[in-house]
Structure formats: structure tokens, C-alpha cells
Amino acid sequence: MKIGLLIYGSLDTVSGGYLYDRMLVRQLRADGDAVEVVSLPWVGYGRTLLHNFSRSLYQQLIGADFDLLLQDELNHPSLFWLNRRLKRRVRYPLVSIVHHLRQSEQHPPSLRWLYRWVERRYLQSVDGFIFNSQTTRQDVGRLTGKTSDFSSNRRLPKSDVWQPHVVAYPGGDRFQATITEAEIVQRTHEPGPLRVLFVGNLIPRKGLHTLIEALCQLLSDDWRLDVVGSTAVHPAYTRRVLHNLKQGIALHGPLPDAALADLMRRSHVLAVPSQYEGFGIVYLEGMGFGLPAIGTTGGAAKESITDGVNGYVINAADTAVLAHHLHHLHQNRDALAAMSLSARQRFLAHPTWAQSMAKVQAFLYEQVKR
């Protein structure tokens, strides 16, 4: 099978969505499928809309010898109209990998209207979907008006029926975490401050400012915070965070996998209070090391975090509740130990990357045979 994958920039970009794409490409190539990456430049939302009128891109895609073209949904502004032109000329199906919708993020009302319109048009232009969570599937359904499974026998308007799709969760086993229950319990009872870990690019959506504000409500000797993530994605936000940097906060920037894994092994809790997550791979990766995860009700964190069992799910920006949970975990190390062991069990019950990507691969083979 020869597959195209259309993305912005490099497949090595550091983010959960690009990690998902890389893992899928690795799976396909390992099984003998050819994958050609088609890279478009990210030039800002407005200018990427012009890709729809690019003659060179159009000619490249209609001339490609693909059995199927995968498109990262992040590229929707470049494809919302171009896809309709392609479908008149190509025989291969267009399948979108949807990590999360842009319109699910916080934007000014005028821009959100534009994003919703463009994103809806794009989602209606493809032949199938790969979803990273049930939450993402539901978000797409609400935006496009899908009301029934593709297999439904009921007679419904075509616009109301789902295109073929699969929900395949990201894996959490990238680090091949090996840690025993005894090590987890010993770590939780070590004297000293609560060691909190934040992992994510420094952008407003990830909520680092919320976490810092919550920690500052606690005694400074009760906690330490390690921050891992790129500082270059949103320079203005990074400057704001650096301006408010407090004692007890270590800003590491991006780390190699081995260094990040070592930091996870030494931490007590992972807190990433994002405004929205399509899935939140890092929560599961932290659970592999027995880290309870703190996420928010914005998005799919609830699909991996069971509130009060292996972590907490809070309302975004609720610093008082976040501070309360962190204080509780610091003061009650037996509760921290129980939650840490539950986090590890949740990780062990989750599909591996190999299992999830094999599920996607089987779905793609079905689309080519249609």
C-alpha cells in the first residue's frame, strides 16, 4: 500500500499530534507500506488558506500514485476547498487524522466563527476519520451534524451519517517505563516537598500560568515544580511566565526522552491544567511512572483520568481547587501512594502504541479495498 501523509512542517515536530503521526508512519513502514510525507509550510492561518489555490500543490496531489491520502486535521485551512477539487480528479480516499479541533480552543468570537466555518467545510470534504479519543469523535459529530454510525440501517440524509472512522487512542508506552510498586510507594513517602511536573509547550492553552498561580497559594517549602517544554512556540507567553517565575520552579526547556523519563521517575505528580486536550498523551506517559495526573474538564482528560482515583479532573483555571488537591497530596502521603499505584494500573490497562496503530492500519486497509 502506498500512502501519502500531508502535514505542516516536519514530522519530528514536538507535540502529541505529531508523535501520533510518527508512530503511525513507523507502524506502516515496518509492515512494508510506503509512506510519502507531503509537507506544507505553516505561514499563519490566513495565508495557509491560499494553499487551496496553489496550482503546484494541486498538480502534485492529482499526479501522486497513492492508494490513500492521510491528512493531519491541523492542515484543515489549507485543504477545506482543495479537497473538493481533488475528489473530482483522484480515486484514492482522503482520510483525516483528527487530534483536536481548532474551534474547541479559546478564541475571540469573530475568529472562532471563521475557524468553525472553515473547519466544518474541511471535515465535510474527507472520506473517513481517525480519531484519537471518543471526545474528539463527539466534537466532530457536533460540528458536522453527524447523528448515526456509518453502519446504521436507518434511512437518514447522507449528510447526517458518519463517514467510515476509527477511534484509536494514543499509546503511553513511548518511554518503556519500568518501575515497581515498591519503588512507587517508597518515592511517595520520601521526606521533603511535593515534586510537581509540568510537560507541554509553553502556550496559554496548556495552563502553566494556572498551575503556578495555584502553587503560589501554598507554602513555598511544600512544593517544587519542574517545567519541561519548548519556550519558542509562543514567545510573548514565555516572557510572561519568566517574568512571574518563582523560587522553586525549574524551567528545563525541551528534554531528550531519556532525561524526561528520569524526571518522571523522580516526580510525585504530573499537573497539566490545559484549557483543552484532544487526548493528553502526557497524562498516560506520566502514569507509566506512577504519577497521578491532574487535567481539566476541557476535552478528553476524563478518558484517562478517573477523578479522585488516579488523579484529578478540575475545571480549567480553577486555581483554588488545584491548590487544594496539591496540598492534600503533599500532606497525605498514603493517599498519594494509593493514587500513584492506581495511575500505574491505569497505564498497564491501556493499549500500547503498537496495538493502537495496528488498529488504524487495519482501518486504512479497509478503506483502500472499498
Cβ atoms of residues 250 and 309 within 8 Å: no
Please check the confidence at residue 149 and state whether its pLDDT lies above 60.
no
Please check the confidence at residue 151 and state whether its pLDDT lies above 50.
no
**pLDDT above 90: percentage of residues in the chain:** 88
Please check the confidence at residue 156 and state whether its pLDDT lies above 70.
no
Taken in order of first residue, the domains within the chain and their CATH numbers are 2-171+352-369 (3.40.50.2000), 181-349 (3.40.50.2000)
Confidence band, pLDDT 50/70/90 cuts, at residue 35: very high
Confidence band, pLDDT 50/70/90 cuts, at residue 339: very high
Residue identified by cell 491501556 is 350
The single-letter code of the amino acid at 247 is: Q
Average pLDDT taken over every residue of the chain: 94
Please check the confidence at residue 158 and state whether its pLDDT lies above 80.
no
Query: Quick one: pLDDT at residue 370?
Result: 78
| Cα separation, 252 vs 259, whole angstroms | 10
Q: What is the DSSP string of 299-321?
A: BSGGGT--BTTTEEEE-TT-HHH
Backbone angles phi, psi at 214, to 5 degrees: -65, -45
Please check the confidence at residue 280 and state whether its pLDDT lies above 50.
yes
3-state helix, strand, coil in the chain (%, to 5): 45, 15, 35
Mean pLDDT within 289-300: 97
Closest CA to 96 of 143, 55, 50: 143
Each residue of 229-253: b (16+ CB within 10 Å) or e?
A: bbbeebeebbeebeeeeeebbebee
Query: Quick one: pLDDT at residue 356?
Result: 97
Mean pLDDT within 343-358: 97
Please check the confidence at residue 269 and state whether its pLDDT lies above 70.
yes
**pLDDT above 70: percentage of residues in the chain:** 96
Please check the confidence at residue 152 and state whether its pLDDT lies above 60.
no
- Least confident span in 130-134, 185-189, 235-239: 235-239
| Cα separation, 274 vs 207, whole angstroms | 5
pLDDT tens, residue by residue, 224-254: 999 999 999 999 999 988 887 888 999 999 9
Give bridge partners of residue 161 from the DSSP assignment. 148
Query: Quick one: pLDDT at residue 161?
Result: 84
| Cα separation, 158 vs 181, whole angstroms | 52
Q: Cα 72 vs. chain centroid, distance in angstroms? A: 12
Please check the confidence at residue 148 and state whether its pLDDT lies above 80.
no
pTM of the model: 0.92
Query: Quick one: pLDDT at residue 150?
Result: 45
